[in-house]
Amino acid sequence: MNKTLPVPLHCNLKLDKKKRGLALALSLQGKPREVALEITPEDLNVDEGVDKLIIELDKLFEKDKTDQAYAAYTAFDKYHRESSIKMCDYIIEFEQKYNKCKKYDMPLPDAILAFKLLDYAGLGESDRHLALTACSDLKFETMKAALNRIFASKSQSDNDIVTVKEESAFVGEHRFDRGRSSRRFGARNRMNRSFDQRNTQSRLNPTINGSISRCRCCDSKYHWFRDCPHKTYDVKLTEEQTDTSETVNITLITTSQQNITPQEIFVAEAFNAAVVDTACTKTVCGTKWLHQFLDTFDSANEEIKCKESNTPFKFGDGKTVHSYQSVKLPATIGSLKCYIETEVVDCEIPLLLSKDSLKRAQTVLDLHNDKVTMFGKPVDVHFTSNGHYCINIKDRRTGQTDSVVSEEEILKVDSGFSKKRKKDIISKLHKQFGHASSEKLLSLLKSAGSVDSDTKAIVNDVCSKCIVCFKYQRPKPKPIVGFSHANDFNQIVAMDLHEIDHNFYYLHIIDLFSRLSAAAKTHS
């Protein structure tokens, strides 16, 4: 028991030291008074009387040290942070309860104390992982600093509930009336306003784009979310369970254009090129890309080998697609000629080089400098609009080795050729020159002296029926203003009859050529 007991008001310190013990005993009430009266007056009426009285009172009220130690430990062990308590207040209370335990020789190791501070904080699993990540070592001071830094002045309920602030929205309606005098119909307007106020609750919501707007909470057409009786203000956040299955996603493109799908743009950007895709398990291409590649392929010099296949693939949309054949394509990467074996699926995707194919080609990707090395030599790369690496697999220098053959077979359209032969040559020219326009092709053929009566019609037919040109053609310009309706004064006039007041009209006439305006009153 504390030996610094307060002295009662009637126990004056000016009393003689011998009388203080007796005066203190007489001032007590209840059970302490009974204990004090058991002491003889002779024992109290001495200089050590107060000390003797305190010793007897300690026997009655003072707990055993073991009980006090157990009570301090129980208070420390059962203390947990509630949702309404701030993190800084929780840490202060935790330290106070632990300091009481230390008074009874019950210190804990630093790491265990840090873990208890984290466990008793009442955090979720994700918040606990965040706190452990922020700790550089397993010490109590480090854990305390991490919790203070991450969750300072923040209660647990703030992490689970997001409060949605409600704000008022005001909507105005358009009302069109004829321009009559407001004095004449003032009484009727006041009557209409009072009628509208009485019927506000029964009116439908305004129309937007021809349809009645509805409440986004209960889909009612008589009120909006601001006045909805079913709305809630607290949104509970839950964590979704992650799917353990591994899926390879291919981001095709991030922009959108009218009438053109992202897949078509991706295929067009990878024309005669292979896209580096380290996440792809096997080299694969789409049917459309393969047909475009074969259109520019000379079947007389090289042979393409095909065989049936049924390999499953899973792309970004989550659907499983099976290949229907495997094709061995001749390719030229840099200065090295090679073959690329690829699966073909009925999808709009370009040629995707898999990780195994890139390994066999000894590919090195220098992302910092945007350079690619294959077969020990650097190769030219370009990028799609979404940032994919594209490697050209067609030899751009074919014209240097076979320049004579190319000039004779491609640039010259002989009159002795059949129409089918001419169409094939012009179609090949159109594709090789990047889908050139009919004017450019005719200019090229005229410079080579290979234009006859049928060439112009065939060129126009090939360019107009090209699907790629039709999809990616530029929009035709539209005029900002139209042509004038009149070419001379008083040729065409525009007129309108206006009513100012009851039975009071005037005729307004405007000349469309000179914009001369005239008006006159009329009574009929």
DSSP 313-365: EE-TTS-EEE--EEEEEEEEETTEEEEEEEEEESSS--EEE-HHHHHHTT-EE
Q: Is the pLDDT confidence value at 402 over 60?
A: no
Q: Is the pLDDT confidence value at 125 over 90?
A: no
Q: Is the pLDDT confidence value at 317 over 90?
A: no
CB 303 within 8 A of CB 312: no
Give CA 200 to chain center in angstroms.
40
121: pLDDT confidence band, cut at 50, 70 and 90?
confident
Q: Is the pLDDT confidence value at 476 over 90?
A: no
CB 356 within 8 A of CB 278: no
259: pLDDT confidence band, cut at 50, 70 and 90?
low
Q: Which is more confidently placed, 114 or 152? A: 114
pLDDT of residue 252: 42
62: pLDDT confidence band, cut at 50, 70 and 90?
low
Tell me the per-residue pLDDT of 182-208, one tens digit each, with 9 for 90 and over.
444 444 444 455 444 445 445 777 777
Return all residues near 59 (Cβ < 8 A) that are at least 6 apart: 35
Return all residues near 402 (Cβ < 8 A) that are at least 6 apart: none
169: pLDDT confidence band, cut at 50, 70 and 90?
very low
What is the average pLDDT across 65-89?
A: 85
Instruction: Look at residue 478 and give its three-state secondary structure.
Output: coil
305: pLDDT confidence band, cut at 50, 70 and 90?
confident
CA distance 96 to 117: 12
Q: Which is more confidently placed, 381 or 257? A: 381
239: pLDDT confidence band, cut at 50, 70 and 90?
very low
* DSSP per-residue codes, 161-186: EEEPPP---------------TTTTH
Q: Is the pLDDT confidence value at 17 over 90?
A: no
| DSSP category for residue 229 | T
pLDDT of residue 298: 67
Question: What angle is formed at CA 409 by the lines to CA 421 and CA 333, rounded to 5 degrees?
Answer: 110
pLDDT of residue 416: 56
CA distance 283 to 247: 16
Q: Is the pLDDT confidence value at 355 over 90?
A: no
Two tokens at 74? 């129980």
pLDDT of residue 135: 83
pLDDT of residue 289: 86
CB 417 within 8 A of CB 297: no
Among 127-141, 154-168, 349-363, name the one with the lowest average pLDDT.
Answer: 154-168
CB 426 within 8 A of CB 455: yes
Residue type, 271: F
Q: Which is more confidently placed, 251 or 119? A: 119
422: pLDDT confidence band, cut at 50, 70 and 90?
confident
Two tokens at 387? 């940032």
E strand or H helix at 392: strand 389-392
Judge if pTM exceeds 0.75. no
Instruction: Give percent of the chain with pLDDT exceeding 90.
Output: 4
What is the average pLDDT across 139-151?
A: 85
CB 347 within 8 A of CB 359: no
Q: Which is more confidently placed, 43 or 180? A: 43
pLDDT of residue 106: 85
Q: Is the pLDDT confidence value at 342 over 70?
A: yes
pLDDT of residue 235: 39
46 to each of 19, 20, 34, 53, 102, how far by Cα in Å?
A: 7, 9, 20, 11, 39
Residue type, 153: S
494: pLDDT confidence band, cut at 50, 70 and 90?
very high
Helix axes 65-77, 87-103, angle to 10 degrees: 160
pLDDT of residue 509: 93
Among 33-37, 325-329, 516-520, name the one with the lowest average pLDDT.
Answer: 33-37
pLDDT of residue 153: 52
E strand or H helix at 422: helix 419-432
Q: Which is more confidently placed, 310 or 260? A: 310
Residue-wise burial string across 180-198, b where 16 or more C-beta atoms lie within 10 A, e elsewhere: eeeeeeeeeeeeeeeeeee
CA distance 79 to 60: 29
pLDDT of residue 209: 65
**What torsion, rounded to 10 degrees, do the Cα atoms 313, 319, 320, 325 define?**
-70
pLDDT of residue 400: 40
CB 320 within 8 A of CB 313: yes
The closest of 154, 121, 153, 147 to 132, measured between CA atoms, is 147
270: pLDDT confidence band, cut at 50, 70 and 90?
confident
By residue count, the chain amounts to 524
Q: Is the pLDDT confidence value at 79 over 70?
A: yes
Residue-wise burial string across 56-66, b where 16 or more C-beta atoms lie within 10 A, e elsewhere: ebeeeeeeeee
CB 35 within 8 A of CB 43: no
H-type alpha helices, 38-163: 41-44, 49-61, 65-77, 87-103, 110-119, 125-134, 140-151, 156-160
pLDDT of residue 336: 81
Among 14-18, 98-102, 154-158, 316-320, name the one with the lowest average pLDDT.
Answer: 154-158
Q: Which is more confidently placed, 184 or 346? A: 346
Q: Is the pLDDT confidence value at 236 over 50?
A: no
